[in-house]
Chains A and B, each alone.
Chain A
Amino acid sequence: MLEIILKRIGMFILVVIASTALVFFMLHSLPGESAEVMAKYIFLGNVELTPSNEAIDIIKEKYDLEKPLFSQYVTWVWNAIHGNMGTSYQTNSPVTEEILIRLPATITLAFVSILLSLLIGIPAGIIAAVKQNSFTDYFCSTISVLGISIPSFWLAILLIYVFSYTLGLTPTMGYGDFKSLILPAVSLGTPASAVIARLMRSSMLEVMRQDYIRTAIGKGLSYRMVILRHALKNTFIPVITIIGLEFGHLLGGTVIIETIFAWPGIGRLLITSITARDIPVIQGCIVFITITYLVINFITDISYSYLDPRIGRSKH
């Protein structure tokens, strides 16, 4: 176990360095001088106006933008190792603070969305597989194809139109109470539940064809017990990967849905920082998203070895 964790940490450092370096150099190679874009935001607060050369020079001076790119990056890494992720160009507050403030919003949305998708996706997949080729199966399959095909932003707009605009049941945007959580969670949970349902169904059908299912029936077990005790655990092995990926994706902040619903999470922080070329914040978000993915992946792998005794846990 210790060896696995050390390996993970090593891999994690590599991935963080690679992803931040990539983002850093890409941001600097975008058209338009960074200092100019930043000056527009910081001094003028308006992107349409052109800042004076003086303003640009002040910015360059303050943020060390004169130095070569590579040394700028090294400085950033050095500071980050010491727990200093820099300060936001836009708000002048520390990047870690900017992220921590938005964390609760993103985590709440991610948890509720994944919970919703599991509550719908898993039973729907099981029922579709158990009643293969029945009306229920076709119904579940059709809905899940729709769920996968519909882009989440379109679903979000549709939901706003129906539930907020027409019926007036939910707020169109905002954050705070449970009501405002419903629409973003449904918009994110629907595609995820569709993916989970489809995979659950195909995995279940695959498992039900196995010899050990025939053995279980041959023992005299009822169909229900065969599913519950013999099929379900095997069915979850491939599904758990997708659940992990979906959850990692949600925890990393969902840019589009957070923007549509003005949800104050990581995704919206990232998008506003990108338009403002707020490089320290962008870097901070990238590090955060990378960590989240790696942690979720790690948890997925551990749950794997609990479901499937053939993997890991080298006791013998």
Chain B
Amino acid sequence: MTLLSIRNLKSYFVTRDGVVKAVNQVSLDIFENETLGLVGESGCGKTVLALSILRLLSENTVVEGKISFKGNDLLRLNEEGMRDIRGKEIAQIFQNPLSSLNPVLTIGLQVSEPFMLHRGMKLSDAWQSAISMLRAAKIPSPAERGKEYPHQFSGGMRQRAMISMGLACNPALILADEPTKGLDVTIQSQIIELMRELVKDRKASMLLITHDLAVAAELCDRIAVMYSGEIVEVSEIKDFLSNPGHPYCRGLLRSLPLNGMEPIPGNSPSLIDVPEGCRFHPRCKYAMERCRNEHPEMYEVGNGRKTRCFLYA
């Protein structure tokens, strides 16, 4: 069953240097009870895509298309309806928990807020729920630590607090934006383990944004690869790892340390001035005449797999 369905999503920012096409005609489905990985290089539009879903982008952003969730089009819902979805139905776990947590409010209060807001609890009850949520996120002595402020937490603990805040109201969908970024490798694996546990327990779906294929391989059922504001491949994670379709995905896998760390030549294009034809063709060793002139569609490859490459046309 499809939980969230994105159709032809465009998110553009108007800047002094031109229009930044951060997300361009993206269509993506997230099914119930699955973890979908969204991978790609920095600046390819992953974060903007996630922020577009909950409409958390600044007002100078143009967002067009359709995002269907439980019978609503999130892009056309009024602000009040949107507030009922944020934190309750769809929760976001942001990257960089230090700047994403309010420095002057206690962790306990920040985790209590979703309970007060969406469950109508009083502060004292919400606080108790927040403490048990912190305990579920394996924060030691949560009753005491709940009274502390974000700067008194370590990086890993802050991310645990962020996770307990996001999962507070048992949302159907969690948008996790690089939850392990900036953490020590040992802490990273703890956080991954925690997220796997909490998300599977609650039968929630998750969109996991990462540029770390190893993390995606650990946690995801399916994977979507983004390049220069577009989805270039959607696949089951197993198929993707054993036999990537798109030349960019092959490059990504070959660039892993495990597979010889062979870099993809060139740089990812600017989102203001994207290449004609296939956006990857300047860096692609399979590029043909057609790739320079025509923009490829998503082609079915079988087993629910789609790739944006003329090799599969």
A binding-site residues for B, Cβ under 8 Å? 210-212, 214-222, 229-230, 233-234, 237, 307-310, 316
Q: Tell me what chain A mostly uses at the interface: helix, strand, loop, or mixed.
A: helix
Is B149 a contact of A217 with CB atoms below 8 Å? Answer: no
> What are 21 contact pairs spanning A and B, CB under 8 A?
A210-B99, A212-B100, A212-B101, A212-B102, A214-B94, A214-B100, A215-B100, A215-B102, A215-B165, A216-B113, A217-B56, A218-B56, A218-B92, A219-B87, A219-B113, A219-B117, A220-B84, A220-B87, A221-B83, A229-B105, A234-B102
Contact among A211, A217, A230, A310 with B99 in the assembled complex (CB-CB below 8 Å): A211
B116 to chain A, nearest CB (A): 10
- A-B pair count, CB < 8 Å, reads 71
A227 to chain B, nearest CB (A): 13
Residues of A near B151 (CB, < 8 A) are: 309-310
Whether, in the assembled complex, B54 has its beta carbon less than 8 Å from a beta carbon of chain A, the answer is yes
Which 10 pairs, one residue from A and one from B, show the smallest C-beta to C-beta distance?
A: A220-B87, A220-B86, A219-B87, A211-B99, A212-B102, A309-B149, A211-B100, A220-B83, A218-B92, A233-B104
Nearest residue, chain A, Cβ from B165: A219
- Give the size of the chain B interface in residues (CB under 8 angstroms): 28
Is A308 a contact of B104 with CB atoms below 8 Å? Answer: yes
B38-81 contacts to A, CB under 8 A, are: 51, 54, 56
Residues of A near B92 (CB, < 8 A) are: 215, 218
Contact among B83, B87, B103, B152 with A212 in the assembled complex (CB-CB below 8 Å): B103
Residues of A near B96 (CB, < 8 A) are: 211
Residues of B near A221 (CB, < 8 A) are: 83, 113, 117
CA distance A210 to B145 in the complex (A): 24
Is A219 a contact of B86 with CB atoms below 8 Å? Answer: yes
B162 to chain A, nearest CB (A): 8
B157-208 contacts to A, CB under 8 A, are: 165
CA distance A308 to B113 in the complex (A): 20
CA distance A221 to B165 in the complex (A): 13
Contact among B87, B101, B118 with A218 in the assembled complex (CB-CB below 8 Å): B87
Contact among B83, B104, B105 with A222 in the assembled complex (CB-CB below 8 Å): B83
| A218-B86 CB under 8 A given contacts A309-B149, A310-B149 | yes
Residues of B near A233 (CB, < 8 A) are: 104-105
| A316-B152 CB under 8 A given contacts A215-B101, A218-B94 | yes
CA distance A309 to B110 in the complex (A): 15
Whether, in the assembled complex, B146 has its beta carbon less than 8 Å from a beta carbon of chain A, the answer is no
Whether, in the assembled complex, B21 has its beta carbon less than 8 Å from a beta carbon of chain A, the answer is no
B97 to chain A, nearest CB (A): 9
